[in-house]
Amino acid sequence: MNNITLHKGDLPAGLDLGGEIAVDTEAMGLNPFRDALCVVQLSAGDGSAHVVQLKRDFDCPNLKALLADTNSLKLFHFARFDIAMMKHWLGIDCAPVWCTKIASKLSRTYTDRHGLKDVSREIAGVDMSKAQQSSDWGAETLTDAQLQYCANDVLHLHEVKTGLEAMLKREGRLGLAQACFDFLPVRARLDLEGWEDTDIFAHS
């Protein structure tokens, strides 16, 4: 637990996490309109994680400024969900972003297993537990198991990105992936405005 720092409400002022920041979120469920955003976890890729347990007034100016800073790249796994949650609950546009799930789908075409657990095992050699995935993230006090779980979701993302980026380059798909990453904030906005299940590119 010594590589995990819990922050209540907001990040401390002046915290520098570098130019590439791994980010993930935990919420009360998967519906961004019903289920409150509870936790945002971050890592600079240095083996340490910062876990922000949000208050329900979402008064967290330092966290918001860091996530909205266009000078830093934010790394996610399934960024579409996290970006939408932060847009709805924090009122911020999180960009630029890099999504390891999209990168996996574009490069690891030999498998249909693109969850963070499977990708991390293959790319980073890390066996992650998902036992706390469906726990109560709105609880007043987070357990040590919850903190370790959410930290693990960001501690290895830099290494996963490096491995997937090399695969994308090898397959000639890095530019395609980048175009998808650039579109992700728009995709999240479409989700929030009612087109989450509609293929707007389809003929019918």
pLDDT for the residue numbered 101: 98
Specify whether the CB–CB gap between 19 and 158 falls below 8 A: no
Say what the pLDDT of residue 110 is. 98
The answer for residues whose C-beta is within 8 angstroms of residue 136's C-beta and 6 or more apart is: none
Spatial separation of the C-alpha atoms in residues 47 and 73, rounded to whole Å = 18
Lowest-confidence pick of 4-18, 63-77, 117-131, 156-170: 117-131
- Yes or no: say if 11 and 63 are a contact pair by the CB < 8 Å rule: yes
The tens digit of pLDDT for each residue in 68-120 reads 999 999 999 999 999 999 999 999 999 999 999 999 999 999 999 999 999 99
Local confidence band at 128 (pLDDT 50, 70, 90 cut-offs) = confident
Q: Which pLDDT score, from 0 to 100, does residue 204 have?
A: 87
Asked if residue 132 has pLDDT above 70, the reply is no
What does the chain look like in DSSP terms, one character per residue? -TTEEEEESSPPTT----SEEEEEEEESSS-TTTS-EEEEEEE-SSS-EEEEE--TT---HHHHHHHH-TTSEEEESSHHHHHHHHHHHH-----SEEEHHHHHHHH-TT-S--SHHHHHHHHH------TTTTS-TTSSS--HHHHHHHHHHHHTHHHHHHHHHHHHHHHT-HHHHHHHHHHHHHHHHHIIIIITT--TTS--
pLDDT > 90: what percent of the chain? 94
pLDDT of residue 2: 56
Mark 96-114 as b/e (b = at least 16 C-beta within 10 Å).
Answer: ebbbbbbbbbbbbeeeeeb
Neighbours of 151 (CB within 10 A): 22
CATH architecture of 4-195: 2-Layer Sandwich (3.30)
Q: For the chain, which residues make up each domain, given as ranges? A: 4-195
**Average per-residue pLDDT for the chain:** 95
Angle, nearest 10°, between helix axes 79-90 and 174-190?
40
pLDDT at 7: 98
Q: Looking at the predicted structure, is the pLDDT value of residue 203 above 90?
A: yes
pLDDT tens-digit series, residues 9-50:
999 999 999 999 999 999 999 999 999 999 999 999 999 999
Q: What pLDDT was estimated at residue 134?
A: 76
